[in-house]
Chains A and B, each alone.
Chain A
Amino acid sequence: MSNFIFGRYLPGHSWIHRMSPQSKLLLSFYFVIVIFFANNGYSYGLLSALIVFVILMSGVSIAYFLKGIRPLIWLIVFTVLLQVLFSSGGHVLWHFGPFSITDQSLINGGFIFIRFLLIIMISTVLTLTTTPLAIADGVQTVLKPLKKVKFPVDTLALMLSIALRFVPTLMDEMETILNAQRARGVDFGSGSLKHRVKAAVPLLVPLFTGAINHAENLSTAMEARGFSDSEHRTKYRLYKWQFRDTISWIVFLLVGGLVLVFRKY
């Protein structure tokens, strides 16, 4: 589990680290949409080149990056296999019962593989270079227009930033409780399914009571410091749109345009 980097933050000072979170969020979103417009070798090649460039710009070593997303490869392989074995159309190359492989399904499978990889890579770059708090701030900025339809954007952003901030705390607590119960003779992760479910109780009950205690203490502490509602607040962290954001958007828009052009070939 410790090698798994999806969703983690790696401190740094690269170009991408210093971009504003709202533009990074929107860029990743935009990139994912562009991926679905790609439909041939040229466009996928171009997008792959862009993602390699982005990873290089993020200052994370490619080897470490690939190692970190390796645990997700099984999910991808599973999906691709389903696609390859069950889709129809094109020349049948091999078939057995309900399974068949056609030249078309092989190509589709390959594209799905690349799509998955590209999506995972761009979102991993996002989380590796952006602190959870910055992501929460970015979400708040991006969702601001929804305020017009009475969507509680500020409350959501508050919940998001509190949730993100408590992820490591709760992980630590889980680790401690896990160890404490292990020391009392609980065997986690072995035996029958029933046994395993039963073994989760001594972990889950303290984890939930702990979370409730945290919530109670935190809300008291927030009230004591003058928090009344999440609207009508000023902000301490401000992320301004910078020149580097504009440049990055220009690069991404150019690539997006090229992908649309390549569609016709």
Chain B
Amino acid sequence: MDKAISLKNVTHTYQANTPFAQNALDNVTLNIEKGEFTAIIGHTGSGKSTLVQHINALLKPTTGSLNVLGKVITPTTTNKNLKAFRKQVGMVFQFPEKQLFEETVIKDIMFGPKNYGATDEEARHSAEHAMKLVGLDHSLSNKSPFDLSGGQMRRVAIAGVLAMDPEILILDEPTAGLDPRGHNEIMDLAKYLNQQQHMTIILITHQMDDVVNYATNVVVMDQGQAVKIGPPDTIFTNLDWLRKMQLDLPSSAEFARKLESAGIAFDQLPLTVNQLVDRVAQLVGKKAAHE
């Protein structure tokens, strides 16, 4: 598989050479392949958001370099010629509804494509497509974004990024503050984009259930370092280590542990609801066969 993103010894220091200097990334080396669904987890202040802002070249490394879709970004990369590159990396920030500003929903979604040189007609076409993707009704097109509900505003903001048709989509806690239904809809949209449109997805989240349900690859951040990289089932094995990283188990695994303490043994902790159901069904079946 092709590498979409590869970081090499990336370090980032905020306000370098002042008493306010703060080391946010510390020698991070990692690769993310094309079409992968990567979750980045870690406690608050571990450097997750700083990391993803490098992928879009919004921040540049203090030392080290990264290669995103063939574009090499080093500490000396200038802001010139980054526009075309940024089109390929869509970035949905935390609480993206804060970035809405146009008079109408459709205009706001068209804003991105038009910045990248699309004509009015092309922009409208991709905006309408994006609205459909995020599940916004066509009738909202000419409403003011400030009249919408929080969940709808969030979707307009995400549509504004999707309308640019990026190859990599970065979602920084896209479901924070949403109700369970809005949460599932956004996560399912991410899954659809990943599986049907083969978009490379990077998700920052604190929800371990989302990690095990959606991600194929997990990066654990701690104090500015990528301390563990691998598929979800290798991440959630060492409980003591997880506790040290201030991370939780997914709820299915948590439940399975309670079953364990009641005397039911699992050879491997089930991470998703489906795995848990399978294991329990197996055990019940075994028991039935026994009797």
Cβ of A10 within 8 Å of any chain B Cβ, yes or no, is: yes
B15 near A184 (CB under 8 angstroms)?
no
A183 near B58 (CB under 8 angstroms)?
yes
Residue of B nearest to A199 (CB): B115
Q: Please indicate which of the listed interface residues A64, A176, A184, A187 has the most CB atoms of chain B within 10 Å of its own CB.
A: A184
B115 near A185 (CB under 8 angstroms)?
yes
Interface string of B87-107 (1 = CB under 8 A from A): 101110110101111000000
In whole angstroms, what is the CA distance A135 to B179 when docked? Answer: 42
Instruction: For the complex formed, measure the closest distance between the CB of A172 and the CB atoms of chain B, giving whole angstroms.
Output: 11
| Interface segment, one of A36-44, A70-78, A203-211, A233-241 | A203-211
B94 surroundings in chain A (CB, below 8 A): 176
Interface string of B151-182 (1 = CB under 8 A from A): 00000000011001000000000000000000
A64 surroundings in chain B (CB, below 8 A): 18-19
Cβ of A14 within 8 Å of any chain B Cβ, yes or no, is: no
In whole angstroms, what is the CA distance A187 to B146 when docked? Answer: 24
Q: Please indicate which of the listed interface residues B15, B90, B96, B98 has the most CB atoms of chain A within 10 Å of its own CB.
A: B98
Cβ of B8 within 8 Å of any chain A Cβ, yes or no, is: no
Residue of B nearest to A3 (CB): B18
In whole angstroms, what is the CA distance A202 to B114 when docked? Answer: 13
A192 surroundings in chain B (CB, below 8 A): none
A185 surroundings in chain B (CB, below 8 A): 83, 86-87, 112, 115-116, 164
Residue of A nearest to B94 (CB): A176
B91 near A183 (CB under 8 angstroms)?
yes
Cβ of A186 within 8 Å of any chain B Cβ, yes or no, is: yes
Cβ of A103 within 8 Å of any chain B Cβ, yes or no, is: no
B93 near A182 (CB under 8 angstroms)?
no
Known: A205-B101, A206-B101. 18 other contacts (CB 8 A): A2-B15, A3-B18, A64-B18, A173-B98, A176-B93, A177-B99, A179-B58, A179-B93, A180-B91, A180-B96, A182-B58, A183-B86, A183-B93, A185-B115, A185-B116, A202-B101, A209-B146, A210-B98
Instruction: For the complex formed, measure the closest distance between the CB of B56 and the CB atoms of chain A, giving whole angstroms.
Output: 6
The 7 closest A-B pairs by CB, nearest first: A185-B115, A205-B101, A180-B99, A183-B91, A184-B112, A2-B15, A180-B93
Given A2-B15, A202-B111, answer yes or no on A182-B86 (Cβ-Cβ < 8 Å).
yes
A184 near B98 (CB under 8 angstroms)?
no
A184 near B161 (CB under 8 angstroms)?
yes
B213 surroundings in chain A (CB, below 8 A): none
Residue of B nearest to A189 (CB): B79
Cβ of A161 within 8 Å of any chain B Cβ, yes or no, is: no
A2 surroundings in chain B (CB, below 8 A): 14-15, 18, 20
A-B contact pairs, 21 of them (CB 8 A): A2-B14, A2-B20, A3-B17, A3-B18, A64-B19, A176-B94, A176-B99, A177-B98, A179-B58, A179-B91, A179-B93, A180-B96, A183-B58, A183-B93, A184-B115, A185-B83, A185-B112, A185-B115, A201-B101, A206-B99, A209-B146
Chain A 1-21 interface residues, beta-carbon cutoff 8 Å to B: 2-3, 10
A83 surroundings in chain B (CB, below 8 A): none
Interface string of B109-152 (1 = CB under 8 A from A): 00110011000000000000000000000000000001000000
Q: Which residues of B contact A (CB under 8 A)?
A: 14-15, 17-20, 53, 56, 58, 79, 83, 86-87, 89-91, 93-94, 96, 98-101, 111-112, 115-116, 146, 160-161, 164
In whole angstroms, what is the CA distance A64 to B19 when docked? Answer: 9
Residue of A nearest to B170 (CB): A183
Cβ of A123 within 8 Å of any chain B Cβ, yes or no, is: no
In whole angstroms, what is the CA distance A97 to B101 when docked? Answer: 52
A182 surroundings in chain B (CB, below 8 A): 58, 86
Residue of B nearest to A208 (CB): B101
Cβ of A181 within 8 Å of any chain B Cβ, yes or no, is: yes
A186 near B161 (CB under 8 angstroms)?
no
Instruction: For the complex formed, measure the closest distance between the CB of B21 and the CB atoms of chain A, giving whole angstroms.
Output: 9
In whole angstroms, what is the CA distance A205 to B146 when docked? Answer: 11
Instruction: For the complex formed, measure the closest distance between the CB of A5 and the CB atoms of chain B, giving whole angstroms.
Output: 8
Residue of A nearest to B80 (CB): A190
In whole angstroms, what is the CA distance A112 to B98 when docked? Answer: 46
Q: Please indicate which of the listed interface residues B17, B19, B56, B94 has the most CB atoms of chain A within 10 Å of its own CB.
A: B19
Instruction: For the complex formed, measure the closest distance between the CB of A168 and the CB atoms of chain B, giving whole angstroms.
Output: 12
In whole angstroms, what is the CA distance A182 to B98 when docked? Answer: 14
Residue of A nearest to B111 (CB): A184
Instruction: For the complex formed, measure the closest distance between the CB of A64 and the CB atoms of chain B, giving whole angstroms.
Output: 7
Given A2-B15, A2-B18, A10-B19, answer yes or no on A181-B86 (Cβ-Cβ < 8 Å).
no
In whole angstroms, what is the CA distance A179 to B18 when docked? Answer: 23
Residue of A nearest to B59 (CB): A179
Residue of B nearest to A181 (CB): B99
Q: Please indicate which of the listed interface residues B17, B83, B101, B160 has the most CB atoms of chain A within 10 Å of its own CB.
A: B101
In whole angstroms, what is the CA distance A175 to B19 when docked? Answer: 21
A176 near B116 (CB under 8 angstroms)?
no
Instruction: For the complex formed, measure the closest distance between the CB of B81 and the CB atoms of chain A, giving whole angstroms.
Output: 11
